[in-house]
Chains A and B, each alone.
Chain A
């Protein structure tokens, strides 16, 4: 055993039972996520990526297959709260996950639920607010913050529970570019400061390229997985899944076809320009 797995998913199926028939959301998913990893899950709406996210902290339970969080089976009801403490979730709508009327009270909500002693809650709240750079807003009312600030508060609320894994379920989908940048910068800062294991679910490919590993999903299955360079060097496949390819990657491919000697795996404008300068 090398690095321990934080998430181990084996043969996961999920079926939503509705009154007008069943909907198959996940059809046999096998994924593992190791400690310290940064994984992006991409896929269009309805590809099953959000259903998958909700299995990571036992909001949904498998119809078939198993989900293990640090070895804890999500089907074991006795482990529910340890699993949820281990996996922190940030959701899509910034307005619908802040509970309290004051920011610091909201960050304290999780630790209060866990029964953390009062003096320690205060420490955790301060530390979490500092980590997301929201300390100056601690006494503000949530409805006066921008979308990006609200999502940072939501991240702080999760961090105060001392999770092992941070899951962002389309947490940037409703934000403007500034808000998105705030959230992504916060994640990158957490990664460099605390090596926080992160799962980022998104349909913004410029966010996915920042991860170590990309998992592309469609129709409830994993279609391809690999480093961003590996995944985004298949523009035809991604486009058939209804996804974007970063323009720099696509342009590099086209330039290769026009006969320019460029290496594979170019993802950003900076990489492309570097490669071009070396090629001539």
Chain B
């Protein structure tokens, strides 16, 4: 049931994409998204799209898994296209039927935006598919570090993410256990109206929250007992290291982006 939910959808492997430093991947994904927003021509998008497909191929992640990431945004995609097609008044009038008027500009705009969204989601799913959650957390901590002077607690945020990732499976397992226990007491989580259903979830949610707080309390004590006192003076077990691979990747990325934007 609940424990079957896959989280962080990391696809372990040893491909070129997996071996890149997480900071490089995070940085490139970010830059790629910016390039996506700057680019306007179909030609640019074709280059960027081809580059994306190349990365997917290099990552050796089954295409099916990558496409699965697109499923949740199908609604948004169709909505984007429909809205633009029917509301835009730019370009040449293509169809004029009763009150429906479709202009070429709308069609163009709609599909470009949808394509941009697809590429955006594609790049982020390749990032999470090829980077373990913990590596991603480390990279995020590095990325946020410059913001510390503005009061952003980079280390604490990263630690929170790690702990959340660590405890999600534990809490899911617990939720399933409590659910079964309440079902055995004749609870009904499925029938009735919205209000009744929400109320019927209380016997599941309350014990789950209590357990989460108890766990948080005990974990905090265990962390203090192991001398945890925040990020100050902490060393790292696994230090992120750039390799020549990262240099090649960044170089290729810069070239492709330049070409894409120039077209």
Contacts and interface: CB of A to CB of B under 8 A. Distances in A.
A84 B226 CA distance: 7
A38 interface: no
Interface residues of B, number: 29
A54 B175 CA distance: 30
Interface string A53-79: 000010100000000000000000000
Contacts of A252: none
14 contacts: A59-B225, A88-B225, A91-B221, A93-B218, A95-B215, A96-B218, A97-B218, A97-B222, A98-B166, A112-B234, A113-B227, A113-B228, A113-B229, A141-B169
Q: Binding site of A, secondary structure by majority: helix, strand, loop or mixed?
A: helix
Interface of B: 133-134, 162-163, 165-166, 169-170, 173, 214-215, 218-219, 221-229, 233-239
Nearest to B133: A101
B227 to A, nearest CB: 4
Contacts of A142: 166
Nearest to A91: B222
A101 B227 contact: no
Contacts, number: 94
Contact of A99 (B133, B166, B173, B229): B166
A99 B219 contact: yes
Contacts of A59: 221, 224-225
Interface in A101-136: 101-102, 104-105, 108-118, 121-122, 125
Contacts of A117: 235
Contact of B237 (A85, A95, A97, A121): A121
Q: Binding site of B, secondary structure by majority: helix, strand, loop or mixed?
A: helix
Contacts of B236: 112, 118, 121
A12 interface: no
B222 to A, nearest CB: 4
Nearest to A109: B226
A121 B222 contact: no
A190 B225 CA distance: 20
B42 to A, nearest CB: 42
B170 to A, nearest CB: 5
A158 interface: yes
B219 A105 contact: no
Contacts of A114: 227
A189 B223 CA distance: 26
Contacts of A122: 237
Nearest to A54: B221
A67 to B, nearest CB: 15
B253 to A, nearest CB: 29
Contacts of A104: 237
A165 to B, nearest CB: 12
Contacts of A110: 226-227
B170 A143 contact: yes
